[in-house]
């Protein structure tokens, strides 16, 4: 921590009385004055190192911050206001993830003033409010087509009622005995996730998700699906015959109620709400916070019932050279095109995120390492052959990727990321434009152009 001069002691005493973190730094992040709250928030992120540079301390959780400051041309002005910085529990040596808010003001040619605060509880309350609003919208709004199905303990449909003559394109008889995944497009749900939702409904009282759903004729609509347990209720009609052995009963409830609604007319407002808290502003992909939330949830599911779970870390090769040669606006256009290719390549159930700068991560539930490596290579090839035209100039880009899978030795999300990162570094060392699979303490199975 920087030494405080005698003339600054009175100011520092005043700063230490503030309920938020305050600091003054040079343009390259070197800390000149820091109060106690800032030090308390930043020291765990510094990993035991000396706290002397703001960008270094936040390097793992806000890697794009230094570049954002460098790109800010005015001599004075607001660089960022309430920027959310997600800090995984592993990086804080704690039990819970924290969310920090950073406001950064440029006060002179070589001076910054920063305000830092812990907004973890505020964000948690906002998320709970959004969940409550989603539940209310699904349960209480009467507008639009809706259907109610009764599910057995494995998620198979045993009864079906619909308020519309179309029946969402289904005839009741064709649904009985089938898993409720029949309402989901390919790639939107897995057999494991089907049971997860039943388990979560039993544990919390309900489980809700929104996204694309299928009509019986194969057409899509935007819908919400809420599942709630029916404790102690007998099942109507004969017991269904199990079409396969991929379904496992969720504990506790003998039956569940599924409410499905057509919310196509509400899709835009839902997407705006979701983007506000969970999406990267530039690319529209999941942001760092929503990625870690999803990863922690998948990790908890894995520990409850182990199943294949893989992670791919990607990095755009020589991205700085693209920015230097064509400008940051062109670099942003490249990142947006990469996001489109991620959307085309990975499934709806996969979690594709931009976690900083030109770094991306994809979490693949119910996917073994061989399949994850194959789909990662498909993304690599799509990027390699893509021609990105910006202001009449064709820009080509490649990506490198590192693949890791969940094993009993992996104890946290951070451990899984470290394995994928190790494979990613091996891909870069191999010449980039490669996908490398991690195994044990080594990285191997290199796929290059």
Supply the pLDDT for residue 88: 74
Are 274 and 131 a contacting pair, CB within 8 Å?
A: no
Going 300 to 44 to 40 to 127, the CA torsion angle's sign is negative
Residue 344 vs residue 49, higher pLDDT: 344
Q: What is the pLDDT of residue 312?
A: 98
CA 140 from centroid of its chain's CA atoms? 29
Q: Which pLDDT score is estimated for 133? A: 59
Q: Is the pLDDT of residue 445 over 70?
A: no
Task: Express each pLDDT in 397-410 by its tens digit.
Answer: 999 999 999 999 89
Tokens 């062109």 sit on residue:
330
Residue 230: per-residue pLDDT = 84
What's the CA gap between 104 and 118, in Å, rounded? 15
Q: In percent, how much of the chain has pLDDT > 90? A: 40
Predicted local confidence at residue 239, as pLDDT: 39
| 239 exposure class (CB count in 10 Å sphere: 0-12, 13-18, 19+) | exposed
Please, where are the H alpha helices in 283-412?
Answer: 288-304, 319-326, 328-345, 369-385
Q: Note the pTM of the prediction, 2 decimals.
A: 0.70
pLDDT at residue 4 is higher than 70: no
Of 31-35, 67-71, 392-396, highest mean pLDDT: 392-396
What is the predicted pLDDT for the residue at 366?
95
Indicate if the pLDDT at residue 236 is higher than 90.
Answer: no
Mean pLDDT of 24-34: 90
Mean pLDDT to the nearest integer, 230-246 = 45
Query: Which domains does the chain possess?
Result: 6-118 (3.30.450.20), 125-268 (3.30.450.20), 279-448 (3.30.70.270)
pLDDT at residue 245 in the model: 39
Q: Identify the band that residue 84 occupies on the pLDDT scale cut at 50, 70 and 90.
A: confident
Q: What is the DSSP string of 24-69?
A: EE-TT-BEEEE-HHHHHHHTTTTTTS---BHHHHTTTT-TTHHHHH
pLDDT in tens, 244-303: 434 455 555 678 999 888 888 776 665 665 555 678 889 999 988 889 889 989 998 998
36 has pLDDT over 70: yes
Q: What is the pLDDT of residue 241?
A: 38
Judged against a pLDDT cut of 50, whether residue 1 lies above it is answered with no
Q: What is the mean pLDDT of the chain?
A: 82
* 173-207 pLDDT tens trace: 889 999 999 999 999 999 999 999 999 888 888 88
Residue 8 CA to residue 4 CA, distance in Å, equals: 6
For range 336-361, the mean pLDDT: 95
pLDDT recorded at residue 186? 92
What does the chain come to in residues? 449
Cα–Cα distance, 237 to 75 (Å, whole number): 74
pLDDT digits (tens, 9 = 90+) for 113-139: 999 988 888 877 666 665 555 555 555
């Amino acid at each position: 921590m920087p030494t405080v001069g005698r003339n600054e002691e009175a100011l520092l005493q005043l700063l230490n009385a503030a309920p938020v973190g305050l600091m003054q730094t040079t343009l390259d992040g070197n800390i000149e004055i820091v109060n106690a709250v800032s030090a308390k928030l930043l020291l765990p992120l510094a990993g035991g190192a000396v706290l002397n540079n703001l960008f270094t301390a936040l390097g793992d959780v806000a890697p794009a911050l230094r570049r954002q400051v460098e790109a800010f041309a005015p001599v004075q002005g607001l660089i960022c206001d309430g920027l959310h910085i997600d800090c995984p529990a592993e990086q804080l040596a704690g039990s819970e993830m924290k969310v920090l808010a950073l406001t950064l003001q440029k006060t002179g040619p070589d001076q910054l003033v920063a305000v830092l605060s812990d907004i973890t509880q505020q964000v948690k309350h906002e998320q709970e409010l959004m969940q409550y609003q989603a539940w209310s919208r699904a349960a209480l709004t009467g507008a639009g087509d809706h259907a109610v199905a009764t599910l057995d303990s494995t998620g198979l449909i045993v009864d079906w009622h619909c308020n519309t003559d179309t029946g969402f394109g289904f005839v009741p008889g064709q649904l009985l005995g089938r898993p409720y995944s029949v309402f989901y497009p390919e790639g939107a749900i897995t057999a494991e996730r089907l049971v997860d939702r039943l388990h979560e409904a039993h544990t919390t009282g309900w489980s809700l998700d929104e996204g694309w759903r299928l009509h019986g004729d194969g057409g899509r609509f935007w819908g919400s699906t809420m599942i709630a347990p029916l404790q102690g209720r007998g099942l109507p009609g004969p017991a269904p015959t199990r079409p396969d052995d991929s379904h496992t009963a969720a504990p506790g409830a003998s039956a569940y109620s599924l409410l499905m609604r057509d919310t196509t007319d509400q899709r835009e407002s839902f997407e705006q709400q979701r983007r506000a808290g969970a999406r990267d502003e530039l690319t529209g992909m999941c942001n760092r916070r929503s990625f870690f939330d999803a990863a922690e949830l998948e990790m908890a599911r894995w520990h409850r019932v182990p199943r294949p779970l893989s992670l791919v870390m990607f990095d755009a090769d020589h991205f700085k050279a693209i920015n230097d040669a064509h400008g940051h606006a062109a670099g942003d256009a490249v990142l947006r095109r990469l996001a489109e290719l991620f959307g085309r390549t990975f499934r709806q159930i996969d979690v594709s995120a931009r976690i900083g700068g030109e770094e991306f991560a994809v979490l693949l539930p119910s996917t073994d390492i061989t399949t994850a490596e194959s789909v990662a290579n498909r993304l690599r090839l799509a990027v390699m052959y893509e021609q990105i035209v910006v202001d009449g100039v064709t820009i080509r880009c490649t990506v490198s990727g590192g693949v890791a899978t969940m094993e009993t030795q992996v104890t946290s999300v951070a451990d899984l990321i470290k394995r994928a990162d190790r494979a990613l570094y091996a891909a870069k060392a191999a010449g980039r434009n490669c996908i490398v699979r991690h195994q044990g303490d080594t990285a191997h199975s290199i796929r290059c152009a």
